Structure 1
Amino acid sequence: MPGAARDLRGASWVGTRWRVRGRTFAHVLDILDGTPPAFAQAAGTDGPAHILIFRSSGIELDALSTRHGFFAPGWGPQIIGLVLDETVDRVELGELITDSYCNRAPQKLIALLDLPE
């Protein structure tokens, strides 16, 4: 039943995710009235809230996990979340998403990017 499998997969994910070679590097979703519950619990809010889940590593991951608005959902050692609100620095947000992409992408795709030194 290919249609049934597609429906189940859609039900397990909310929001929008971005992938490279089938590997998710960013996921944005809304929390409203404590739903979806796993994300609401991880972010520590019943909403309404917009959140971004992405990947980070090393010293940057350690630094982010202690900053206001960021949270470690506990779904893996490199996964970090961010509550998206008016205080988010958009330049930093772009850098975090780019770093998350580089964390998941193969080297030949990373080499195509025009990354700062």
Structure 2
Amino acid sequence: MAPADRPQVPEAWLGRLREILTALPRCEEEDAWVGTRWRVGSATVAHVFGGEDQLFRITFRAEPDEVMAFEHLGAPYFRAGWGRNVVGLLLDDDTDWTEIAELLTESYCLQAPEHLADQVDRPTG
């Protein structure tokens, strides 16, 4: 299906994601093949998009043990079909944006060069 068959991510959600991600050192927003992604260098930190099923998803990176945990938690979490450390979350009106901020900060720290990740206050616990 063509990207036109996918819904546009609500601007309010993109705004929230921009606040989280562009605050991170050298984290840049760009258009992706569908939706929007944020990268540090050539490494993708997060990718948000509307699916052909009309649901919204954000994918990000996680530690290997966390990938397994997310996979076992089930909806709204899922393991992506590509990359060993790629997981995702379905976004909706009940999304916990504090949790999203923590997950995306961790994703950034996994993808960024150490000297940039060291500049970030990481969530604890």
Q: Do Structure 1 and Structure 2 share a fold, with TM-score over 0.5? A: yes
Deviation at 1:104, TM superposition (A): 0.4
1:102 paired residue number: 109
Task: Find the structure with the greater CA-based Rg.
Answer: 1
Provide the rounded CA distance (Å) in 1 between the counterparts of 2:85 and 2:99.
Answer: 18
Q: List 4+ stretches of structure 1 deviating above 6 A.
A: none
Q: Structure 1: which 5+ residue stretches go unaligned?
A: 1-10, 35-45
C-alpha RMSD over aligned residues: 2.0
- % same residue: 41
- Write out per-residue CA displacement over residues 12-68 of structure 1, whole angstroms, 9 at most, x where no aligned residue: 71100000011111000112xx2xxxxxxxxxxx2x211101111132221111222
Provide the rounded CA distance (Å) in 2 between the counterparts of 1:60 and 1:85.
Answer: 22
1:39 paired residue number: none
- Write out per-residue CA displacement over residues 96-117 of structure 1, whole angstroms, 9 at most, x where no aligned residue: 0011101100110011112244
TM-score normalized by structure 2? 0.67
How many residues align? The count is 94
- Secondary structure, in 3 states, of the residue corresponding to 2:104? helix
TM-score normalized by structure 1? 0.71
Q: Structure 2: which 5+ residue stretches go unaligned?
A: 1-30
Distance 1:116 1:28, change over 3 A: closer
- State whether residues 59 and 87 of structure 2, in contact with CA within 8 Å, keep that contact through their aligned partners in structure 1: yes
Alignment map for 1:1-117 (pairs within 5 Å): 13-31=33-51, 34=52, 46=53, 48-67=54-73, 68-117=75-124
